[in-house]
Amino acid sequence: MEQRLPLIAGNWKMHKTPAEAGRAAGELAGLVRGAAGVEVMVAPAFVAIPAVAAALSGTGIALGAQNMHWEDHGAFTGECSAPMLVDAGCAYVILGHSERRQLFGETDETVRKKVASALAHGLKPVLCVGETDGERDAGRTMEVLDTQVARGLDGISVTPESGLVVAYEPVWAIGTGRTATPDLAQEAHARIREKLGKVLGKPLANSTRILYGGSVKPGNIAELMEMPDLDGALVGGASLEPASFAGIVRFRRT
């Protein structure tokens, strides 16, 4: 099996001022220093990116953004582009988070354009997919995952160097305390990898990291990480406190 370096990513959403974010990033760096065999990333709000970049400099912790526009520049009031994020020190960008899809009208097509732009500028996209409660109850989970993966990557050339990451985030598990069971997460991750295999080819599908997101905490990360197709986590609420996020980064029991 391919070796995939686990990635533990914190999505700070619309929390923390620049000063608070810089302090939290500095504290986190101290707490995870020396953690081996895991990559760590934090995604603060746009305005906090410079403060977090400064705090993370030289720590090995990667910086990410939570969204971006697909154009490089132009009359798009309120937006930020891939070249801006790269210049600010970002290595990753979260794209198609369910909050963006549900609250801000993002579609598979806008997500696809963003993935293409991120890759063109050397930013690693974290492409988020996941079903709602209603879709799961209607037995449509696998169909939804297939569609979001296929449409999010349609016509885009991905290489091993692209660093594409996919995050499985069941909408019913985000911020609700209802974590998916390891078996249920594994079933979805396996399906996503199978679909990635059809879209990107098997070797690339096998080297692509698939993160789980949805109420991940220090107490449930270890059992999730035991699943063969689960390569890390995208963490919201539990990433806000450096100590709790560090507990997730140090998920290995031994």
Question: Which residues on neighbouring strands pair with residue 235, listed in sequence order?
Answer: 10
| Size of interface with ligand PGA, in residues (CB under 6 A) | 13
Amino acid at 90: C
Among 14-22, 40-48, 168-176, 220-228, which window interacts with ligand PGA (CB under 6 A)? 168-176
Q: CA 106 from chain center: how many Å?
A: 16
Query: Contact with ligand PGA (CB under 6 A): which of 96, 170, 236, 242?
Result: 236
Among 22-30, 132-140, 181-189, 235-243, which window interacts with ligand PGA (CB under 6 A)? 235-243
User: 1 or 103, CB closer to ligand PGA?
Assistant: 103
Q: Which is nearest to 210 in space by CA: 164, 175, 158, 248?
A: 164
Structure tokens at 91: 């290595």
Positions marked active-site:
97, 169
| Site for ligand PGA contains 232 (CB under 6 A) | no
Output the 3-class SS for 128-176: EECCCHHHHHCCCHHHHHHHHHHHHHCCCCCCHHHCCEEEECCHHHCCC
User: 200 or 237, CB closer to ligand PGA?
Assistant: 237
Minimum CB separation of residue 124 from ligand PGA in Å reads: 16
Beta carbons within 10 angstroms of residue 13's beta carbon = 18
Among 34-42, 158-166, 187-195, 232-240, which window interacts with ligand PGA (CB under 6 A)? 232-240
| Site for ligand PGA contains 127 (CB under 6 A) | no
The span from the CA of 223 to the CA of 169, in Å, is 17
| Site for ligand PGA contains 213 (CB under 6 A) | yes
Return residues touching ligand PGA (CB under 6 A): 11, 169, 174-175, 213-216, 234-238
